[in-house]
Structure 1
């Protein structure tokens, strides 16, 4: 996992607790050698703890914006259920690294 992310793990945890995140993982270039500090975005997989009255829309965009501020770069935020292609899903699940778990 790239140091841009590891340097902010405490703040990521605070953000996740505030927004009802059950689990947050990073995948893609940020967990490998192809991360480019000048141009790479950060790919993040989220699972919310969506109980009664949970506002998914607001929490999703608040998390995306919060992570972009913390990392200083664009964030592609996806949920596991939104990955329809089985090969893409398998690749994400095999390469993901946990950032936060409730």
Structure 2
């Protein structure tokens, strides 16, 4: 199991006069996703994806078991594309699943309306691709 790291980040206010220390958790997506990131990036470009983010256990990387679990992704298609079509959605899902060798669930972030579930999901989101 991978230990999550903490790093120190200094941030200044707009004037630059005051600074404060903030601890920021560094997340590690599962190595299976990280190792296939280039192929996923190429797919994202082909399907005209604006952003693709992994969330849940596959984003945390510490409690994900590829033998029994699936990878959950948020997808946002470029507005200028035909990307929001069912064909693009299903095609991207099938191709990412093929590359990773496991089941993949795609969703749009706006589909999660429950604020408690959204907050839980937001704690583990990690960008895989951003145009």
Residue 94 of structure 1: how far off its partner (Å)? 2.3
**Size of the alignment, in residue pairs?**
102
Residue 93 of structure 1: how far off its partner (Å)? 1.9
Please identify, of 49-58 and 76-85, the stretch whose mean Cα deviation from structure 2 is larger. 49-58
Q: Identify the structure with the greater helix proportion.
A: 1
Contact 1:2/1:31, CA 8 A, preserved across alignment: yes
Deviations 1:17-67 (A, max 9, x none): 000100000011112211013111001011111226555211110110011
Q: Which blocks of at least 5 consecutive residues in structure 1 are unaligned?
A: none
Q: Identify the structure with the greater strand proportion.
A: 2
Q: CA RMSD in A?
A: 1.4
The CA distance in 1 between the partners of 2:59 and 2:84, in whole Å, is: 30
Which of residues 22, 36, 44 is equivalent to 2:73? 44
> Hey, what does 2:102 align to over in structure 1?
73
SS at match of 2:54: strand
Relative to the length of structure 1, the TM-score reads 0.92
Deviations 1:2-24 (A, max 9, x none): 11101100000000000010000
Relative to the length of structure 2, the TM-score reads 0.73
> Hey, what does 1:56 align to over in structure 2?
85
The CA distance in 1 between the partners of 2:104 and 2:40, in whole Å, is: 13
> Hey, what does 1:31 align to over in structure 2?
59
> Hey, what does 1:20 align to over in structure 2?
48
Pair member with larger Rg: 2
